[in-house]
Structure 1
């Protein structure tokens, strides 16, 4: 796709004029359901999330109380260079590979019978009958051994609840408890430490317009306080079934459509499920199908952790680029300030001029 001319210009203090060019795949807002604010942590803090701290003690007694974000138990990580590095046990990236700007960690590697949680409650707008949230997770749990039954092992609990009808959304809710895990790998220097790299799961909320939904993530140590458990969490910025590349420029000669990151397998089909198109996360079309073509992708989560979900998208040659340099910022005595807006997955950005910028 050809680079488009900038559509937003912002003048920053000190006479430095910042022009941002969004180069790839910023889709028109009309294609996407509006996500609740900061459900994706892109504010860089825990605004609109409720944090919890508590304890987990034998026999399987979990206590959680609302709290402020607690250092070491509720940690926020930015993907801005140089990023947060890699997990010391699983060697996977601490920042979610979905392309977002921020991810969080619940818990730590200290043990002590601690428990932590974060929850987010929101209401799906009236009339919004297509609503889909994708959350991402990575987990590190230490096996307490033969003296710990499953009721006292470290764990990650994921609960998604329809608050309006007091119903658990079972396809998106499940526990990770040592002793019944699949898809985990041992940490070679200490095989009692088990880890799972980043994966994703869908929350299909179609047909739930007007309902109130709660997301709740909980981590605990073992019930005897000697073994630890922690997890990384992120939520995708988009809340609809549209995926990257579904909108493209009229003069594009080829397009790549990308499904959400983190599933075990992908199956691409035409809208009538009569023609199989591919089985990778991304699918390439050269030339693009006629505008208005609908395609579908079946997302299969890792075994035991979710249900099949199908996303649809209409391929439209209506891509509009809207650059946004973010609000003006003041900097004194050469202090560093953050400019711009949260990055969107799979988008590339270029700033000009580059003078004084750390990541142009």
Structure 2
């Protein structure tokens, strides 16, 4: 599908560099633009009047101004596109090995920290390989348009809106399904399909949890924190993009809850894997479905966790991760029950639109 309107992915700029951004506005190198972006109605939008280039997972350059940015916090296809287009992209030496260690089962935090320190003791290496991306990029391909970059200011915070041409490259299966998605923190989400199958996506990461606990007593250095966040984000992105590819191949329609993202950001943003799930939910999934011409429905979230999917007019009791319906003979997992409720509501809206 050819298109000229860009797919935009928004990520954060570092707070320490806000004065630089304000200086760029004062000097005229960031010009206010009379455009708005979906979901950012209250943001002030600026257009850079200087070249934009990426030089690392945490390094953006506007003209001669260096800024910290979460470049790594993109879907795999756009992330790979940025690296392909960047001739001076630098990554920690041994980042591929660190990623293997990060994903190793039962690796203890002390061993990983030693590997991390050894890696960061070396100079950054010129490397444009997207080590942190998934192998097939979630079934998508992207081309970066650096000259269409925008900078957003909202509520005193600054964000980077990168522009891409996104294509979905997944073979569609003949059988179609309607999916319902329940967003959580543990697991990241639960997906139910028309066959009644509910899958948990993105369980907790033991090493990342261990590093967070150790950080309270033996803090990681700022450089170490940045790399761990990038690795954590990548580990969350992987299973989400596998799920996305499956839906791109099989979906007739996909349903998600209408959620207040301001509340979600307060819960999710400081935790890298959870941030990946939220970005997937509010940005990556809708854009990929749009390009694949698959309908996305946002359904009413009311009582999706408390109502039984088998007996929708009856409320049950939630105990921890379990759901107990008074009319059912067995307990259900609360997230699977919620995903099946969302799937049923999506099916009803899709079959009988108002």
Both structures adopt the same fold (TM-score exceeding 0.5):
no
- What's the TM-score once normalised by structure 1's chain length? 0.23
User: Greater helix percent: which structure?
Assistant: 2
- Taking structure 2 as the reference length, the TM-score comes to 0.23
Higher strand share: 1
